[in-house]
């Protein structure tokens, strides 16, 4: 809380993460930079393999062998999380000030402990509560995520709950220590649409009420549209466009963002033919030279063989594309 | 109401009119045994996966079958193909009953009816070359003597689904998800079927690839007059590919209508809730949309409630809904729904 509000809550700078596999070095994150401000929701969208999960796993310290963070820095309230000297600080921050909601609530809850044990464990460890205090707080938390009969639920095991209910428990655990940042990695992908709608409604409501910052990883542009203030679009281990969500959706600049928005079928618009992006995403063991999207891009030219860094275009928009910057194809 | 029902059962289906349906499903029910419970296992546990499901599919038509997980949509598709034992009801193919066709009959039928699977990673044998995978149905049905004799046909099939000619010599691991799904489609097409059950064929694919596969399926339909049962949970994709759409909930069809009617004037409260639950990728539009949330979750299929299965989540539920299950009735031309209150 002591940090001044001039520094962003979280800042990721030129993050490089490589995975050393038998097949070669997978360059999962090739210089990713973004920041999240207080009370803001940032959506990170991208297709599978674009490196969106790796970026936030690095923030949470979840990159393990064969993966290695090989460059860049992650700053939380201005202090580095990668710094060897700050190990104690890191342990305090992760799990307390930054918490995480995973995609699959079945595998991220421990099947052999009750819900109650799992929530109170977090509270006793990070907040130093007594058994009784923790129990009372756990009941409040379950109420906060709209779970009825919390007393009964605390005694239940994960298998006794449905997918939607488990995800609510995960959210309650994420909120337990009053974090300043919640990272939600595809929180609704494993759920049915009507349950997804319930969870999204809950997340929107909690975000506004508690004024917590959220990073939402998803491949679904619809989910971003409902929840996010800002959006970052990732492709092949890099952010290709980032900006205010309304503006990015209304006037995308990067050809990949444009393609992605056009390719996403909409319920409210009828077209006879679906639009696709030709070709396939690149192999990150040997990514193409320069702009990774250029082999699939219809505006590609010579310049695209040289990589273009994220360049500001005004009004909080940053894009990495030669065409967009020179011709300003907006 | 009763008079209507009588009428419906007493009038036999119009036989063999020029546009007679390719597939007819009448009151299909599928019940799975789920072990025993109670004192000395006297109580048999049963999962009522599908109940009273009826629909037709005409040649060259796509029927979209939409529902959430556990709604019985895949089971319905598999029952038609004879891969799941039917507990009640009847299934017809080109006017002939195939409900309890024997093993041999199912084999012969599989020349006309094929399946495309959801997961292109799990549905191709990693130890077989693409050419062997695509030629296998031809060999099994004795249409070719050996792989060599099938080479020409396989090359044609691969070209048809947009794969490079040298694809045949490679193994599945060399291909991306979208390309593997093309292999799955080529394999399904090998026997020149008239009807394909596509069980969530694009759910595992990324957005930019999804459209490629959907467009391919539409092109193949236009070219060969294929009929599809397109099973999906993504309402936006279904809107593009389907001519008619059936919405399933907990084993029942709750609404069956022409595609534009489902989206423009849905009748059943579940259809409305389902449509409003899909977020639109446009922030101002999405914020302005009125959302109909339906609280709670789908009922346990082992012990479904009496009456309408949607009653526990429905804002309009009345005593009638709790007592008697509604049947699918016509609401306007091209649209029917199963609901007492709408």
pLDDT (tens digit per residue) in B169-211:
999 998 988 999 999 999 999 999 999 999 999 988 888 888 8
Task: Check if B285 contacts A (Cβ < 8 Å).
Answer: yes
pLDDT band at B20; cut points 50, 70, 90: confident
Tokens for B30, please give them: 């599928």
Residue pair A191/A167 in contact (Cβ under 8 Å)? The answer is yes
Cα–Cα distances in angstroms (integers) from residue A292 to residues A46, A245, A251, A299, A320, in the given order: 14, 23, 22, 13, 11
Q: Residues A47-54: what's their mean pLDDT? A: 90
- Chain B residues whose CB is inside 8 A of the A47 CB are 206-208
Task: Check if A176 contacts B (Cβ < 8 Å).
Answer: no
Q: What is the mean pLDDT of chain B?
A: 89
| Pairwise CB contact (< 8 Å): B215 & A267 | no
pLDDT of amino acid A96: 87
Q: What is the mean pLDDT of chain A?
A: 89
pLDDT of amino acid B7: 41
pLDDT of amino acid A7: 87
At residue B295, does pLDDT exceed 80?
yes
User: What tens digit of pLDDT does each residue of B307-332 get?
Assistant: 999 999 998 999 999 999 999 999 99
Q: What angle do CA B113, B117, B120 make, to 5 degrees?
A: 140
Chain B, residues 302-341, CB within 8 A of chain A, namely none
Residue pair B28/B86 in contact (Cβ under 8 Å)? The answer is yes
pLDDT band at A2; cut points 50, 70, 90: very low
Tell me which of A219, A228, A264, A265 to substitute to probe the interface with B (most B C-beta atoms closer than 10 Å).
Answer: A265
| Pairwise CB contact (< 8 Å): A220 & B278 | no
pLDDT band at B3; cut points 50, 70, 90: very low
How many beta carbons lie within 10 A of that of residue B166, not counting itself?
10
Task: Answer with the residue of higher pLDDT: A272 or B3.
Answer: A272
| Rounded Cα gap, residues B125 and B133, in angstroms | 8
Cα dihedral across residues A38, A41, A45, A48: positive or negative = positive
At residue B159, does pLDDT exceed 70?
yes
Question: Chain A: nearest CA to B304, how far in angstroms?
Answer: 16
Residue pair B176/A280 in contact (Cβ under 8 Å)? The answer is yes
Task: Check if B260 contacts A (Cβ < 8 Å).
Answer: yes
Record the pTM: 0.87
pLDDT of amino acid B284: 92
Q: How many Cα atoms occupy the beta-carbon half-sphere of A271 within 13 Å?
A: 15
pLDDT band at B31; cut points 50, 70, 90: very high
pLDDT of amino acid A206: 92
| Pairwise CB contact (< 8 Å): A219 & B179 | no
Task: Answer with the residue of higher pLDDT: A330 or A28.
Answer: A28
| Rounded Cα gap, residues B100 and A272, in angstroms | 39
pLDDT of amino acid A293: 92
Burial environment of residue A193 by CB neighbours within 10 A (0 to 12, 13 to 18, 19 or more): buried
Considering only alpha carbons, which residue of chain A is nearest residue B271? A194
Cα–Cα distances in angstroms (integers) from residue A73 to residues A1, A80, A216, A319, in the given order: 21, 7, 20, 21
At residue B13, does pLDDT exceed 60?
no
pLDDT of amino acid B267: 95
Task: Check if A187 contacts B (Cβ < 8 Å).
Answer: no
B14 Cβ partners below 8 Å, 6+ apart?
B20
Q: Residues B74-81: what's their mean pLDDT? A: 94
Chain A, residues 63-122, CB within 8 A of chain B, namely none
Considering only alpha carbons, which residue of chain B is nearest residue A161? B297
Task: Check if B212 contacts A (Cβ < 8 Å).
Answer: yes
Task: Check if B287 contacts A (Cβ < 8 Å).
Answer: yes
Of A194, A201, A246, nearest to B283 by CB-CB distance is: A246
Burial environment of residue B264 by CB neighbours within 10 A (0 to 12, 13 to 18, 19 or more): exposed
How many beta carbons lie within 10 A of that of residue B172, not counting itself?
20
User: What tens digit of pLDDT does each residue of B81-127 get?
Assistant: 998 999 999 999 999 999 988 888 888 888 999 999 988 888 999 99
pLDDT of amino acid B18: 52
Helix axes B207-224, B177-189, angle to 10 degrees: 20
Cα–Cα distances in angstroms (integers) from residue A257 to residues A251, B68, B77, in the given order: 10, 29, 36
Task: Check if A192 contacts B (Cβ < 8 Å).
Answer: yes
Beta bridge partners of B196: B114, B228
Task: Check if A224 contacts B (Cβ < 8 Å).
Answer: yes
Task: Check if A196 contacts B (Cβ < 8 Å).
Answer: yes
| Pairwise CB contact (< 8 Å): A197 & B295 | no
| Rounded Cα gap, residues B128 and B168, in angstroms | 10
Q: Residues B49-78: what's their mean pLDDT? A: 94
DSSP code of A218? E
- Chain B residues whose CB is inside 8 A of the A165 CB are 297
Using only C-alpha atoms, chain A has a radius of gyration, in whole angstroms, of: 21
| Pairwise CB contact (< 8 Å): A226 & B279 | yes
Cα dihedral across residues B264, B267, B272, B274: positive or negative = negative
Please report which residue ranges of B144-206 form alpha helices under DSSP H. Answer: 147-160, 177-189
Tell me what percent of chain B is helix, strand and coil, each rounded to the nearest 5. 35, 25, 40
Q: End-to-end alpha-carbon separation of chain B, Å?
A: 15
> In this prediction, what percent of chain B has a pLDDT beyond 90?
64
The continuous run of DSSP H or E covering A259 comes out as: helix A255-263
Considering only alpha carbons, which residue of chain A is nearest residue B219? A273
pLDDT of amino acid A246: 95
pLDDT band at B238; cut points 50, 70, 90: very high
Task: Check if A274 contacts B (Cβ < 8 Å).
Answer: yes
At residue A263, does pLDDT exceed 80?
yes
| Rounded Cα gap, residues B171 and B129, in angstroms | 5
| Pairwise CB contact (< 8 Å): B239 & A267 | yes
Task: Check if B209 contacts A (Cβ < 8 Å).
Answer: yes
pLDDT band at A306; cut points 50, 70, 90: confident
- Chain A residues whose CB is inside 8 A of the B260 CB are 270
How long, in residues, is chain B?
A: 342
Of B197, B193, B256, residue with least CA distance to B79: B197
pLDDT of amino acid B8: 40
Q: Residues B35-64: what's their mean pLDDT? A: 89
Per-residue b or e along A84-109, where b marks 16 or more CB atoms closer than 10 Å to that residue's CB: eeeeeebeebbbbbbbbbbbbbeebb
Q: Residues A79-106: what's their mean pLDDT? A: 84
Q: Residues B210-235: what's their mean pLDDT? A: 93
């Amino acid at each position: 809380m002591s940090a001044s509000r001039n520094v962003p809550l979280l800042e990721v700078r030129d993050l490089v993460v490589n995975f050393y596999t038998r097949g070669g070095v997978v360059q999962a994150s090739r210089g990713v930079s973004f920041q999240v401000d207080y009370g803001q929701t940032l959506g990170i969208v991208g297709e599978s393999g674009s490196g969106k999960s790796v970026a936030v796993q690095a923030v949470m310290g979840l990159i393990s062998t064969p993966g290695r963070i090989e460059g860049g820095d992650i700053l939380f309230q201005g202090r580095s999380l990668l710094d060897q000297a700050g190990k104690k600080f890191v342990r305090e921050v992760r799990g307390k000030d930054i918490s995480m909601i995973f995609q699959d609530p079945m595998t991220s809850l421990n099947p052999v402990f009750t819900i109650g044990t799992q929530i109170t464990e977090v509270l006793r460890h990070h907040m130093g509560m007594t058994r009784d205090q923790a129990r009372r707080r756990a009941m409040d938390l379950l109420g906060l995520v709209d779970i009825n009969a919390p007393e009964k639920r605390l005694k239940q095991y994960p298998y006794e709950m449905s997918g939607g209910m488990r995800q609510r428990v995960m959210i309650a655990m994420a909120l337990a220590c009053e974090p300043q940042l919640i990272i939600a990695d595809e929180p609704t992908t494993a759920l049915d649409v009507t349950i997804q709608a319930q969870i999204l409604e809950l997340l929107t409501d909690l975000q506004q009420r508690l004024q917590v910052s959220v990073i939402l990883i998803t491949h679904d542009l619809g989910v971003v549209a409902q929840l996010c203030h800002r959006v970052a679009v990732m492709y092949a281990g890099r952010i290709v466009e980032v900006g205010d969500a309304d503006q990015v959706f209304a006037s995308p600049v990067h050809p990949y963002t444009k393609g992605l928005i056009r390719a996403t079928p909409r319920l409210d618009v009828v077209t006879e033919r679906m639009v696709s992006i030709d070709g396939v995403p690149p192999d990150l063991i040997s990514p193409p030279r320069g702009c990774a999207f250029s082999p699939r891009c219809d505006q590609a030219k010579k310049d695209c063989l040289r990589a273009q860094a994220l360049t500001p275009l005004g009004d909080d928009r940053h894009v990495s594309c030669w065409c967009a910057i020179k011709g300003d194809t907006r | 109401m009763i008079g209507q029902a009588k009428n419906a059962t007493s009038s036999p289906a119009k036989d063999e009119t020029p546009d007679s349906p390719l597939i007819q499903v009448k009151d299909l029910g599928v019940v799975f045994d789920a072990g025993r419970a109670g004192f000395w296992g006297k109580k048999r546990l049963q999962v009522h996966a599908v109940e009273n499901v009826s629909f037709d599919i005409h040649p060259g038509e796509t029927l979209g079958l939409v529902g959430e997980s556990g709604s019985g949509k895949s089971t319905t598709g598999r029952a038609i193909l004879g891969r799941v034992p039917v507990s009640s009801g009847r299934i017809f193919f080109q006017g002939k009953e195939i409900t309890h066709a024997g093993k041999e009959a199912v084999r012969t039928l599989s020349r006309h009816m094929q399946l495309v699977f959801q997961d292109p990673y799990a549905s191709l044998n990693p130890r077989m070359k693409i050419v062997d995978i695509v030629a296998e149905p031809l060999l099994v049905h004795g249409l070719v003597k050996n792989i060599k004799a099938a080479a020409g046909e396989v090359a044609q099939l691969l070209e048809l689904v947009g794969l490079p000619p040298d694809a045949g010599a490679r193994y599945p691991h060399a291909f991306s998800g979208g390309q593997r799904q093309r292999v799955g489609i080529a394999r399904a097409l090998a026997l020149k079927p008239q009807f394909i059950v596509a069980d969530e064929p694009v759910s595992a694919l990324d957005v930019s690839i999804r459209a490629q596969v959907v467009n391919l399926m539409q092109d193949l339909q236009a070219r060969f007059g294929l009929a599809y049962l397109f099973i999906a949970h993504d309402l936006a994709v279904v809107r593009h590919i389907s001519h008619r759409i059936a919405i399933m909930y907990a084993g029942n069809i709750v609404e069956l209508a022409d595609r534009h009617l489902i989206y423009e004037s849905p009748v059943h409260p579940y259809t409305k809730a389902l449509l409003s639950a899909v977020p639109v990728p446009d922030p101002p539009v999405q914020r302005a949309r009125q959302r109909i949330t339906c609280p709670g979750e789908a009922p346990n299929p082992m012990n479904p409630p009496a009456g309408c299965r949607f009653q526990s989540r429905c804002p309009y539920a009345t005593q009638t809904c709790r007592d008697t299950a509604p049947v699918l009735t016509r609401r306007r031309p091209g649209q029917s729904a199963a609901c007492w209150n709408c």
